[in-house]
Structure 1
């Protein structure tokens, strides 16, 4: 069965900043979708659509949701955050990119501030592969060099990742956990750091390969078959006790 991916983006910088518009004339979401559409069924959704493009029907058919946000995290309605959160727990994969670390949904799933250090100076970044056996690192050399990047530095206030796939070094000397895997409920989450809007990061072949690999891995999530609530006994017992307050 074909994996269905919904690529979500604020789609604000591309309409308000000439530099971003030149790099991503159809939106960052279009560049990400282009990296995926050869092998997956892809649709896009943006902030200013009704329900931010994330209706119940859209999320129900989504196997993996990718998330890019920066300037308008607070404009995402809590009802939609609840909706996405529930789908992740049910088994939908979630790929959070770059400044999406401050999104409501990522902070909700992490349970922390997700704060970090940052600097915008078009400096070199090297993403070192620290877990080469992980499927997300498939086809990637020892490191990916990004010629121009916004620096993110530790301390990154997130829970310890289940698996750390990439660790970044920046020209200015900082390091950062840039490829973090988590499981929440039945859903998988991958945080991937690169993607500042004024640099052509999503046109870089190695970055696009990681996005493709990440969607493949995230689709390994499974719809929950766990049963919760009141349960019949497995063995024969006396159920005549009537002191329950339920």
Structure 2
């Protein structure tokens, strides 16, 4: 089983520590590509139009400026760098070495800067999204697609891929084996509707549930059965639907 996560927009920058070491990251074959993206990001972030290129507002100018020194900035485990809703719900910043060890085999964060990292990989905070067109590298989803596919397909090794990513990150890697996309809906007065904030929260709960579990789902139905174990903890129903094309859909239904 391989759980795929998006990075969070919000990141916590460490106040001290050694910078990123490319040789120590998962998937070392990606080192040259990571170097190219980071070098280009540092250059673009120093341009007058940096905020426009990176599609961020003036309030994030400090984070963009920090990109300029990405190679020198302190690094920490990705589990503590990513601090958005999904990661908070998973409690990832508090995972001990045993859980991080499990996540090394079971979880990958698909990143516009690093390609794919495990929660245990030490990286600096940065500001870059997969939908960005970055200098001569072009669209980052296209840049990473051919590079990520052999790495993540090999890691999945024909096993089940549990996909908690958003569309722009799916564009960078589409699994070739058994694949389930995780959706979240809210039920209120007998009616169900798509949610956003709580979708991230619920995917985070599922991620922690799967990493902590001794069982490893091998099929979409196994995954649905595992997710059903969360019913009663804010979850009221789980449904699984096969699709003619693309991933099957696991829908987690939360109470309104």
Question: TM exceeds 0.5?
Answer: no
Higher strand share: 1
Specify which structure has the bigger relative contact order, considering alpha-carbon pairs within 8 angstroms and separated by 6 or more residues: 2
Give the TM-score normalised by the residue count of structure 1: 0.33
